[in-house]
Structure formats: structure tokens, C-alpha cells
Structure 1
């Protein structure tokens, strides 16, 4: 219904311009500015119609503006340990020298009630729009899997396409477009350098050491004056999440009230956790992409 109304509105506007042109004796030779107005209306209506399709898939209602951001960081040492297959998109297989830092999973707009908006427009991912950011993104926002996650349009796409269509499109008015979303995320990642904070506190990658969960949380709290959220897998840190107000001042990710402990880091992490190191050269993989080769091979 929304799409039909938009198209009907567009058609009525075009008819209006046709009537005006006819009255002015210019039916067969529109002025240039009149054509520009008609094309502008048509373009805007088509974009709104495309956005409306996505909104209809979300239940037919426009989603309200988000309340805060979550910067989700992934620990490659934990995720890559489970790698069994390789492909050209999986950095677990082709990262020279391995990983020594958290990498970016995504920047997620969230609501205070625990829910979140997603797929807020019909905009599709276009890698050409971020060509100047590709070097840092390949290093600090790399995919750690061969899977192709679904985008908001139903098709499968890249890791970056999934993040920007699902989360980036809901980041307005802070990040208004694809380039702004990725640039903003990189800037926040570098400004709040979790890896540096933990290293300086003595928490370094190791396949033998176990670290107190409370110590890791305290190190981040002391540096950024806000409580992070940790997600673990088999006793190893898998993700660390920082939360921010819309102006990117840190805020607690979880309530400090003990009654809300169920949503704290303790629910998925033991008292002592590991930060496993990882180097791809130490594993034997089955390659799923016949065109993939080791770098410089």
C-alpha cells in the first residue's frame, strides 16, 4: 500500500507539470529546469518506494531513531581456532603474521529496551564508495569466515555488505551514508584502542595463560570509564563490546544493578578466560575456493 501511494503521488506530480507545460504552450518543448524537476520527483519517489519495500518487510512501520551505539570487537585468536575451510575472503587463512589485536565486527545502533533497528533503508552496499578506506578495513575489519551472510535484500553478500545494510542504514543522523558509517566506525575503533589498554595491563595473547575476567573488565573501565560486555566461547574471549552515546562518549553496556546480572559478561564467560594467539601457518586447511592462493604464491 505504501509503495502504491508513492507511485501514485509521483504520477500526479508529473501530470501536474504536463498540464502547466500545456497551458504555457510548451507541451512539446519543456524548459530544461522543468525536466529537471520531473526527473528529481521521479528519482525521489523510486528511492522512497524501494525504502518502503524494506520497511514493509520489517512489519510495515518506520523504525524509530536508535538510543546508543555498540562497537562490537572480535578476538581472531578465538574465532580462527575453529577454522576448517579456507577461501579468499577468510582472513584467518591469509593474514600474514597472524593477529595480535581485536578486529571490528560492527557498529550497531541499539535501543535501551534491549532491541535494535535493522534494515532501515533500501540502500545497497557499493564498495566503490569506500575505496579510500579499503586498506585499513582489510586489516582491521576483515571477515573471519567463508560464509556469505544475508543482506537486507534477501541475497547473500560480503561481511561489509551485511553490516552496512543491516546496521549502517539505521545509524542516521550520526552516520548518514555508507562512507560515513565505515569511517566513523574506524575512527571510534582507533580512538578507543582496547588491545592497547589490555596489553598495558598485562593481558596479552597467549595459548597457556588464563586471565581473571574481572581484571579485564576493570582495565577497560579504568581506561574509558564505562563497563564493557564480553562474550566467550569455551572459556576464551570471542567478543568485547563497547557502548557509546550518540556523541561517542562511553557509557555502560550493561546496568550496574545486580538484579540485571543476567545480561552481564558473567553469563557467557567463566571467572578466568583466555586470549588465544593464532597464526595461520600452524594449521592445515581444506580449501573451498579453487581460485584461492596463498599471498605471493
Structure 2
């Protein structure tokens, strides 16, 4: 069965209410704002966060090329790619590495690899840390650190990656922005409020944007446990905050 056939699978939904979030709640581990709950205290999560990367910004810092680094591909991609599907608590903490026995097994997601390589690529040559203290693929890091904590909504590795891809396609942020005139450009600056409003109107929830030197680097969408969109908490650090006008740099393949 090919990848497009798998993409026709409906999102796995459960009947769960949506929890509210206050403005000072944090949902991002990358910014150093969250504290990992100790393993013995890890409880069921409160909401999902889909983190998307903008390669045009992130790849500007590439200083080493390898076959695994999508920043070095000759076929330019001007679209958001997946960082990961994370699970967070409403109190600003997040669970991680919830089942050390569920080590990543690439064989379990073989039917999805074609799509993962395009829409969920690694933008680095570095191996990522895994829950057993070793190093592994970008996908291994995301599954072991975040996916294993997504129960009872998501129980296994295959479902984690398939569900993430389905959400990514259902809420096609790149398409939403292009249709509203926000085109990748190395010269244009766009109003941040306009970008946020375009996504709010399409998704019916408020996203969160992270910037680097005035360029959009990451975009986050938040979801209830039944994958209904919900507003994301505004918890970026001052260093990550976006200015009033931002850029969406075009992707330029690196040659280093």
C-alpha cells in the first residue's frame, strides 16, 4: 500500500473535553521554559502541540552537509516541515520518555517513510539524543521523548507518525498563508498580526510563532485530546518573540 493510501486514513479521535489554558502556561521545551516532570510523577498529558519548522530560516545556520540533512537538498522546499507532535501539561511542565521499553524501530513505519522524508525531514547532520542515553535519528528522538507520552490517545509508534502526518495535511499552514498572499521571499516583510489572523480564520484557533532575527522559524498549533484546535499559550521567550513585521525567507539549499 503506498503512502497516499495511508494518508486517506482518518484521524484517530477520542471523545475528550478540551482544557483551558492561561496565558502564562508554557508548552515548549525547546525554549527552555518548561520543566520536565520527574518520571514517577508523570501523569496523563493535557493537550497536544504540533511544532512546524520553516526551513528557509533554520537552514541559514547550516555549516555542515550530509545525506541526512534536508537543508542540503538540491530540490528547494518552501513549506513548513514537521518538528514534532508534543504533549504538554497545562501547568507549564511536560512529560518525556514515558516508556523506555518503546525504543524506536524504523521497520514499524516503513510504509510512511516516503512521506516522512519529505514532510518530516531532519534539518541537521547531528544525531539526536534518545531516552536510553544514546543517539539516534530525528524521528527516534521525537517518538521516544514525546510520542511515548501520548497515551491513552496514541499507543504505538506507527500511529504517532501517521496521526502527526494527518494533522499536518489537514491544517496545511503553508497553503493557508500562500492563499492569503504570504509568499516565501528574501525581500518582503509581512505583518505578524496578518499571519496570525490568516491562521486563526482557517484553523479557528490562535497559533504561536517563534522567530529568529525577525524571520519566522517555527509555528505551533495546539489541539485538545480529540484533535480539535485550541488556542496556544503565549509563552515564547523574549529571544524567540517575533517583531511586528516578519519575513518568510525562501529556502536556499546549502553547499558547505
Normalised by the shorter chain, which TM-score bucket? 0.7 to 0.9
**TM-score (structure 1 length as normaliser):** 0.71
What is the rounded CA distance, in whole Å, between the counterparts of 2:178 and 2:166 in structure 1?
Answer: 20
Q: Distance in 2 between the 1:194 and 1:265 partners?
A: 24
Change (3 A) 1:86 1:63: same
Q: Spell out, residue by residue over 1:185-223, the C-alpha distance to the aligned partner (whole angstroms, 9 max, x if none).
A: 000000011001100110010000000011100000011
Of stretches 129-138 and 62-71 in structure 1, the one that deviates more from structure 2 is: 62-71
Larger fraction in helix = 1
- Length-normalised TM-score, structure 2: 0.82
Higher RCO by CA contacts (8 Å cutoff, separation 6 or greater): 2
Shift of 1:279: 2.7
For residues 223-245 of structure 1, give each alpha carbon's deviation from its aligned partner in whole angstroms, at most 9, with x where no partner exists.
Answer: 11100000000110000000000
SS in 2 for 1:231: strand
Q: How many residues end up aligned between the 2 structures?
A: 220
How far residue 157 of structure 1 moved from its aligned partner, in angstroms, is 0.8
Tell me the equivalent position of 2:153.
Answer: 174
Partners of 2:126 and 2:76 in 1: CA distance: 20
Structure 1: which 4+ aligned runs deviate by more than 2 Å?
57-60, 261-267
1:109-258 superposed matches below 5 A: 109-122=87-100, 123-254=102-233
Please say if residues 72 and 255 of structure 2, whose CA atoms lie closer than 8 Å, have aligned partners that are also in contact.
Answer: no
Would you say the 8 A contact 1:99–1:278 is kept in 2? yes
Displacement of 1:175 in angstroms is 1.0
SS of the equivalent of 1:237 reads strand
Q: 1:230, 1:265 within 8 Å by CA — same for their partners in 2?
A: no
Deviation at 1:262, TM superposition (A): 5.8
Q: Is the 8 A contact 1:151 1:165 kept in 2?
A: yes
CA distance in structure 2 between the partners assigned to 1:151 and 1:264 by the alignment: 26
State the secondary structure of the residue aligned to 1:243.
strand
- In structure 1, runs of 5+ residues without a counterpart are 1-56, 255-260, 286-297
RMSD: 1.8
| Aligned-partner Cα distance in 2 for 1:117–1:168 | 10
The structure number with the bigger radius of gyration is: 1
1:59 CA displacement: 4.0
In the TM superposition, residue 174 of structure 1 has moved relative to its aligned partner by 1.1
In 1, the alpha carbon distance for the partners of 2:80 and 2:170 equals: 13
Alignment partner, residue 255 of structure 2:
284
Q: Cα–Cα, structure 1 residues 90 and 262, in superposed 2: closer, same or farther, change >3 Å?
A: closer
Q: 1:104 & 1:205 partners in 2: Cα distance?
A: 17
**Match in the other structure for 1:41:** none
Compared with structure 1, are the counterparts of its residues 159 and 262 closer, same or farther at alpha carbon in structure 2 (3 Å cutoff)? Answer: closer
Q: Which string of whole-angstrom CA distances, capped at 9 and with x for unpartnered residues, describes residues 78-109 of structure 1?
A: 01111111012101112x42111100000001
Task: Give 5+ residue unaligned stretches, structure 2.
Answer: 1-35
Contact 2:37/2:94 (<8 A) preserved: no
